[in-house]
Amino acid sequence: MTRAYGKKYDATLRTTDIAKKLRQELKAEKEMGKLPRGLKVSVTTEKFAGGSSITMEVTAVPQGFRVLNPEYVLAPKWESGRAHRYTKAAQRLLKRLDAMMKAYNHDGCDYMTDHFDVKFYSHEQIAHELEHAEEQVIKAMAALNGTKVL
């Protein structure tokens, strides 16, 4: 397998350096209107034996920005797989965060042979607290509207 390099890849950058650059990019993209103002994203790094990781976690969204898909939240557990967990806007946001990290990474993985070759492991996610709070609002609004919540 050949290694693919992101357009901002630099072998001399440490994971902590990349995290700083990602924080700067987030700030710039909010100022340019490419990301919503009021969006808060935590960028953290972790070192472990054999590698490192960067996690970009959405901890706050602007008023009116919905993260969870109500159809997913309100569906019976056996039917929840029919609707996507996140709204289209949240899916686009997570894809954007993933693309930002991939720009600094390389990928020479061969999953068929269980061979992993990356500069760092990347994770983009919505904070559990944010999801939980929005889930409670969706369920309360459904109860007010008489929608059956299972």
The count of other CB atoms within 10 Å of the CB of residue 124 is 19
Q: Which residues of the chain have pLDDT under 50?
A: 110, 113, 150
Where do the domains of the chain lie? 4-67+85-127
pLDDT of residue 101: 95
Evaluate whether 73 touches 53 at the Cβ level (below 8 Å).
no
pLDDT of residue 100: 97
Q: What is the pTM of this model?
A: 0.87
C-alpha distances in angstroms, 8 versus 4, 46, 99, 117, 124? 12, 21, 11, 17, 18
CATH class of 4-67+85-127: alpha beta
pLDDT of residue 12: 94
pLDDT of residue 49: 83
pLDDT of residue 1: 58
